[in-house]
Amino acid sequence: MRNRALQKLDMLLGNWTLTLSNAWFLDSLDTQLRGAATIEWLGDAFVVLRSDLEGDRAWDFVIGRSDPHETYTALYHDKRGVCRVFQMTSERGQWKLAREDTDFYQRFVADVEADRISGRWEMSEDQGRNWRTDFDLTFQRVTQGN
């Protein structure tokens, strides 16, 4: 049986095109990387996001929930072998991921519409006092999930 609280993530399910832009680490802020993402159920207890972008950039998230704490947690892994844990919220058309680790703080803030997710990754190297844009990430829906 699916967790009712996780079912509110159904709005994210489906196949998406991705556009990464405004990235400080690319040759130019005007450079865009294209790719794709799939967000789907993993059994009845988790939602998984799998992505792939040009330039051998790809990452996965597995999203779960702690009922007693009423919180979502997202486990992250990318092709570099990096693993991270993010706290996640999804409310009133906003999707947020955040981590506050010793190496740096990081957050993703996105507006979720029926067929588009417009988000921005940010980072802070001073425990959240100052933030800078890492990159913008746009999802455009190709097909609806189930």
pLDDT band of 89, cuts 50, 70, 90: very high
Within a 10 A sphere around the Cβ of 73, how many other Cβ atoms?
16
Helical H runs in the chain? 4-7
Count of structural domains within the chain:
1
Check residue 113 and report its DSSP letter.
-
34: left (phi over 0), alpha (psi -120 to 50) or beta: beta
pLDDT digits (tens, 9 = 90+) for 1-22: 888 888 889 999 999 999 999 9
- Cα(first)–Cα(last) distance of the chain, in Å? 15
| Per-residue pLDDT at 138 | 98
pTM (predicted TM-score): 0.92
Would residue 109 count as lying in a domain? no
Q: What is the mean pLDDT of residues 109-125?
A: 96
Q: Report the percent of the chain where pLDDT is more than 70.
A: 99
Residue 105 and residue 87: Cα distance in Å, rounded? Answer: 12
pLDDT digits (tens, 9 = 90+) for 30-80: 999 999 999 999 998 999 999 999 877 899 999 999 988 889 999 999 999
Would residue 99 count as lying in a domain? no
Provide the domain limits for residue 40: 4-91+134-144
Give the CA angle between residues 117, 142, 91 to the nearest 5°: 30
Helix, strand, or coil here: 31? coil
Would residue 22 count as lying in a domain? yes
Would residue 114 count as lying in a domain? no
Would residue 39 count as lying in a domain? yes
